Amino acid sequence: MRGDQWLDRSAGPVVRPYALTGGRTRPTGETIDLLALVSSTGATVDELLLEPEYVAVIRQCRQPKPVADLASDLDLPLGVVRILLSDMREHGLVMIRQPARNRLTDPKLLKDVADALRKL
């Protein structure tokens, strides 16, 4: 069987992301924000036992890197990267620091602003 049989010319690879995630469509644990910074923990791991994508994440994240940049650099869909990262987080291979929330996304503040604008 030729490798290109699993490619859709317009959509790209159609089987590999599904296989990487074991068919899962959602990461486990805490939500992983697009701007979250991912860094490898330096945990000792036998790279021969890992899928190439896991090894690539470890290598890319020697310095903290945003999830969005990581997905782009790995040329993988964001959903797949989030699932890989959640698996790696569970095994202690990566640390994920969520971005600081500022008051501008606080729902109460936004409601107060909307109410004040309506009164004008």
Q: Report how far residue 59's alpha carbon sits from residue 102's, in angstroms, rounded to the nearest whole number.
A: 31
Q: Which domain holds residue 98?
A: 3-119
What is the SS3 assignment for 12?
Answer: strand
Residue 11 clears pLDDT 80, i.e. is over it:
no
Q: How far is CA 71 from CA 13, 34, 79, 116, in A?
A: 15, 9, 9, 40
- Please give the mean pLDDT across all residues of the chain: 81
Question: Tens of pLDDT along 30-74?
Answer: 889 989 999 999 887 776 677 888 889 999 999 999 999 999 999
Number of structural domains the chain divides into: 1
User: Mean pLDDT throughout 105-109?
Assistant: 75
Q: Helix, strand, coil: what percent of the chain each, to 5?
A: 50, 10, 40
Copy the structure tokens of residue 68: 């969005």
User: Mean pLDDT throughout 66-92?
Assistant: 92
Residue 26, pLDDT score = 81
Residue 25, pLDDT score = 72
Q: What is the pTM of this model?
A: 0.68
Q: Is pLDDT larger for residue 104 or for residue 91?
A: 91
Copy the structure tokens of residue 57: 């994440």
